[in-house]
Structure 1
Amino acid sequence: MIRIALADDHKLFAKGIESLLDEYDDLLITGIYPNGKELIDSLKMDLPDVILTDLNMPVLDGFGVLKSSKKAFPKIKVIVLSMYDDEKIYKKCMKEGADAFILKDADPDELVYTIHEVYDGRHIANFQRVIQQANQSSFYDAFREKFKLSRREVQIIKLIKDGMQNKEIADDLSLSVQTIETHRKNIHSKLHVSSRIELVNKVQDMNL
């Protein structure tokens, strides 16, 4: 069981995250806090495995959560949830020790697998790749929407197109080979292809 504490001052968003994670038997929300101070105070009594924190909160913001939690409890994993596609914010989170960074408009499955990867120590936030994603053109957004792809799946498609094998992709993204294989199966299903060659041909035809 992965124990998760969530800090976010937007009640509807926080409840939505709780409802999403409740669908998974191995994920448990141990507490929802309206600001970083209440979350940090709770750590004195109950330590979660993973912290999900918003950046903009009253009393103590997400950067404060990162500093305080990493200083007092360095083994706790911290995933930042943010609505801002900003390079300076990504770099500041990286400097403060964030284990992963997810935009709030990401697909739900991206949050779930990131929690698992962070908990298992396999996921290290690749901030440069996140920055590149933030600068993608509207064409890629249209491609994602058409085939219901997550940002991670688009990343993997590009790396496959570049000729990388599963192990190379896993190393590049700091994920497990098993995770990459699962994503590839999902990609094949969504794009209605049955092989690497068919996948590459399809994305080349679309000028991706």
Structure 2
Amino acid sequence: MKKTIVIVDDHILIAKALQSIISNFNSFEVLYECENGKELQAKFKVKSNIPDIVLLDISMPIMNGFETAEWIKANHPNVLIMALSMQDDEQSVIKMIKNGAKAYLLKNSHPVELETTLNTLVKNGFYYPDWVTSTLCDNLVKNQIEKSKINFSPREIEFLKYTVTELTYKEIADKMCCSPRTIEGYRDHLFEKLELKTRVGLAVFAIKNEYT
């Protein structure tokens, strides 16, 4: 049986193009498209309208992708959320992951990559961009990294909590009453301990291990 998908995007041409592309995939089918989160909420009142996967744009009027993902996570936790956006900044990725997105793909991706992403999402329960390291992804699946097995200082734990926010490193330094250089030290120590290379990786680890 094919996995069902709902597309939420205020650009109708893009939504229709996605529907056409996905119609050629062997394992997936599109139930319908919505222009924003409010419209999706109304559709979800009918049980048969609840899909396996929601492809979710971020920048939308009325109810954006961040708000929509948070609502789906709270009310329909079994629905897989995949962000599909032009926004590739760390803050957007971190916020979407925190709000429940299990996958993130850019709109300029090739259709083959879209199909691969969907298959990986269904199989593994997640898909993140290449710059979220393969080490992190492996650990998300195998649960090899556990907070009980790694010694963190209280200040490193405090810094971890801030990685999931939209604060810059300088703003985090202000919050923690220390210098940006000290913050860089905490970041680099955590990179080494967790074998990560990006703030997104730290944020996903913090969310997964409930440091938020």
Shorter-chain-normalised TM-score: which range? 0.5 to 0.7
Q: Unaligned regions of 5+ residues in structure 2, if any?
A: 143-212
> Which residue in 2 is equivalent to 1:125?
127
Structure 1 runs (4+) deviating above 2 angstroms are: 123-127, 129-132, 168-175
State the identity as a percent.
31
> Which residue in 1 is equivalent to 2:183?
none
Contact in 1 for aligned 2:120/2:127 (Cα 8 Å)? no
Tell me which amino acid in the other structure corresponds to 1:90. V
**Aligned mate of 1:51, from 15, 29, 54:** 54
Q: Deviations over 1:36-81 (max 9, x none)?
A: 1111221121210000010011111101110111101101000001
Counterparts in 2 of 1:108-147, with a 5 A limit? 108-120=111-123, 122-126=124-128, 129-130=130-131
Determine if the alignment matches structure 1 residue 2 to structure 2 residue 3: yes
Q: In structure 1, how many angstroms separate the alpha carbons of the residues matched to 2:125 and 2:78? A: 14
Q: Deviations over 1:85-142 (max 9, x none)?
A: 201111111111210000111111111121122223x042346x4368xxxxxxxxxx
**Aligned mate of 1:86, from 80, 86, 89:** 89
User: Could you say what secondary structure the match of 1:24 adopts?
Assistant: coil
Relative to 1, partners in 2 of residues 1:25 and 1:124: Cα closer, same or farther, differing over 3 Å? Answer: closer
- TM-score in terms of structure 2 length: 0.59
Q: Unaligned regions of 5+ residues in structure 1, if any?
A: 133-158, 160-167, 176-208
**How many aligned residue pairs are there?**
139
Tell me which amino acid in the other structure corresponds to 1:17. L
Q: RMSD over aligned Cα, in angstroms?
A: 2.5
> Which residue in 2 is equivalent to 1:11?
12
Contact in 2 for aligned 1:78/1:98 (Cα 8 Å)? yes
Relative to 1, partners in 2 of residues 1:126 and 1:174: Cα closer, same or farther, differing over 3 Å? Answer: farther
Q: In structure 1, how many angstroms separate the alpha carbons of the residues matched to 2:88 and 2:103? A: 14
Determine if the alignment matches structure 1 residue 96 to structure 2 residue 99: yes
Tell me which amino acid in the other structure corresponds to 2:126. I
Deviation at 1:18, TM superposition (A): 0.5
Q: In structure 2, how many angstroms separate the alpha carbons of the residues matched to 1:116 and 1:101? A: 13
User: Could you say what secondary structure the match of 1:130 adopts?
Assistant: coil
Relative to 1, partners in 2 of residues 1:44 and 1:22: Cα closer, same or farther, differing over 3 Å? Answer: same
Contact in 1 for aligned 2:103/2:121 (Cα 8 Å)? yes
